[in-house]
Amino acid sequence: MTDHKERILIVDDEVAICECLSRVMAHGNFSPLVACEGETALKLVRMERPNVMLLDVRLPGLDGLKVLTQALAIDPDLIVIMVTGYTDTHCVVQAMRMGAFDYLVKPFSNKEILQVITKALAERAVKPRGKICESKFEGQSLPELMGPSDEVARICEDVNRVAQSNFTVMILGETGVGKELVARAIHVASARAKGPFVPVDCGAIPESLFESELWGYDKGAFTGADIRKQGKFEVANSTLFLDEISNMAIDAQAKLLRVLQEKVIYHIGGATPINTDVRILTASNQDLSASVVRGAFRQDLFFRLNEFTIGIPPLRLRKKDILHLARRFLDLTNADLHKNIEGFAKRVSDALVEYEWPGNVRQLRSIIRRAVLLADDEITLAHLDLGHRSPMSRSPVEQEVPWDNRPLKEIVQESTTLLERHVLSQVLHLTAGNKAKAARLLCIDYKTIHSKIKDYGIELNGGNGHGREELQG
């Protein structure tokens, strides 16, 4: 049965006091946690998400005030009750200004401390909560959706820090790591949560349609404009998420910068200024600072969008999240397929953790869904498709090209062909078969990539060779 007791974190460097308060908490029907110094306390705040922290002002290493500051950065809704001696009045005043909920002066009775905790919990229950690690979207919190690792905990801390501000946020990470999840989390925890969250895939909008998509147009603005259409800025009027911002053309970047500075848009074909109040969140799978150096991205727009950055590590660096996510995808697919696959064989769990996951969470989800479809009771290695590399799937750098008494030029040409096919296959995999998006990433035109796919016999979407159309993303 699930334990619904409120968790109370006791932070004191005296073991006897911790033991005594633990007994008091248990007697008061609370669930006690104990830390004897600040670093342990902060780790417990991250991992255990206590409801209340009883924090002694005087601690070795990190003192109580520093622990208070860092704990509230991790969890803004944590109730912190300072525990102090009568000589620490100045520290208590400072702690209250920094966000402490209340304080207790030693010595205090068991009844007194339980009353203060009960009162604090009652008052907090009627106040709106802003903490993303408890805020629900898609029916679950961010750690439930992404995993229990320290890396995800740090992402939650960053979301908590920035959500209530109006900062533009740049979310960086490889394709498939969950950048949109983090963007939605920021929106849900922000003051704009009641408004819409509007995602825009910058790589899926042709340059010729960019202005009409973002700013909108008036009736008669161009051939086919039979009605007045709102752009994404008007539709959003709260949070606009510009995904894969690095794919935006330079001319479009200049227009976006102007809108962000002036907070005014004009419909195509219109002369009436339209005021906007939109918070911008962006995401990229590329190092935009490097794009700035290359001249592919405007420096002034980069600085405007990069007021705060959240980096999401790839799944191969978040080993602790892999089995959590695999189990989550198993449960979801069981429900989707009306099956009851019980779990994973031990060798499967080991294989999942050891695998490098080049496609990140998106790849893991696809593989688990396929395995659930194939399995009858338990997922075994036979049900997994982890892309065991054949000679053709290996990187061309690792392959041996036979000499066969051929000229160097011919051997190099063969190696170049293998490398080109490998790169095309990898990019098309990352874009889920979207040839137009892959062409933009590789800086080649659509006709070229289409002909190369045909020449190299690269299969898309199960071998039909068609891939996804340009406006699908």
CATH number of 142-311: 3.40.50.300
pLDDT surpassing 50 at residue 71: yes
Quickly state the pLDDT bin for 461 (edges 50, 70, 90).
low
Which pLDDT value is given to residue 103? 86
With 0-12 / 13-18 / 19 or more C-beta atoms within 10 angstroms meaning exposed / middle / buried, residue 97 is exposed
pLDDT surpassing 60 at residue 83: yes
Q: Which residue has the higher pLDDT, 438 or 3?
A: 438
Which pLDDT value is given to residue 469? 40
B/e letters for 161-174, b = 16+ CB within 10 Å, e = fewer, are: bbbeeebbbbbbbb
189: CB partners within 8 A, 6+ apart: 130, 131, 132, 135, 159, 160, 163, 164
For residue 170 the two structure tokens come to 């740049």
Give the integer Cα–Cα distance in Å for 178 and 193.
19
Which pLDDT value is given to residue 401? 55
pLDDT surpassing 80 at residue 368: yes
The pLDDT tens digits of the residues spanning 292-343 come to: 888 889 999 999 999 999 999 999 999 999 999 999 999 999 999 999 998 8
User: What is the distance in angstroms between the CA of the first residue and the CA of the last residue of the chain?
Assistant: 43
Choices 2.40.50, 3.80.10, 1.10.10, 1.10.3470: CATH for 403-473: 1.10.10
For residue 116 the two structure tokens come to 């203060």
The pLDDT tens digits of the residues spanning 4-63 come to: 688 999 999 889 999 999 999 998 889 999 999 998 998 898 888 899 999 998 888 888
Which pLDDT value is given to residue 373? 94
Task: Give the position of tokens 């016999």.
Answer: 457
Please give the CATH topology (third level) of the domain spanning 315-383.
Answer: Helicase, Ruva Protein; domain 3 (1.10.8)
Give the integer Cα–Cα distance in Å for 12 and 20.
11
Which pLDDT value is given to residue 220? 79
Q: For the chain, what is the mean pLDDT?
A: 82
8: CB partners within 8 A, 6+ apart: 25, 30, 31, 32, 33, 50, 51, 52, 53, 54, 117
102: CB partners within 8 A, 6+ apart: 81, 82, 116, 119, 120
Q: Is residue 206 within 8 Å of residue 249, measured between CB atoms?
A: no
What percent of the chain lies above the pLDDT cut of 90?
Answer: 33
Q: Which residue has the higher pLDDT, 215 or 178?
A: 178
Which pLDDT value is given to residue 470? 40
| Neighbouring C-beta atoms of residue 86, cutoff 10 Å | 9
pLDDT surpassing 80 at residue 93: no
Average of per-residue pLDDT across 160-187 = 92
Q: Do domains 7-125 and 142-311 have the same CATH topology?
A: yes
Superfamily of domain 7-125: Response regulator (3.40.50.2300)
pTM score of the predicted model: 0.58
| Neighbouring C-beta atoms of residue 409, cutoff 10 Å | 8
With 0-12 / 13-18 / 19 or more C-beta atoms within 10 angstroms meaning exposed / middle / buried, residue 236 is buried
Q: Treating both helix axes as pointing N-terminal to C-terminal, what angle do 150-163 and 319-337 enclose, rounded to 10 degrees?
A: 80
For residue 354 the two structure tokens come to 């050891």
pLDDT surpassing 90 at residue 374: yes
Which of 148-162, 399-413, 439-453 ranks highest by mean pLDDT? 148-162
Q: Is residue 173 within 8 Å of residue 179, measured between CB atoms?
A: yes
The pLDDT tens digits of the residues spanning 114-151 come to: 999 998 888 776 554 444 454 555 556 788 889 888 88
The pLDDT tens digits of the residues spanning 376-417 come to: 989 999 999 886 443 334 444 445 555 555 677 777 777 787
- Which one-letter amino acid corresponds to residue 151? E
Give the start-to-end residue ranges of the domains of the chain.
7-125, 142-311, 315-383, 403-473
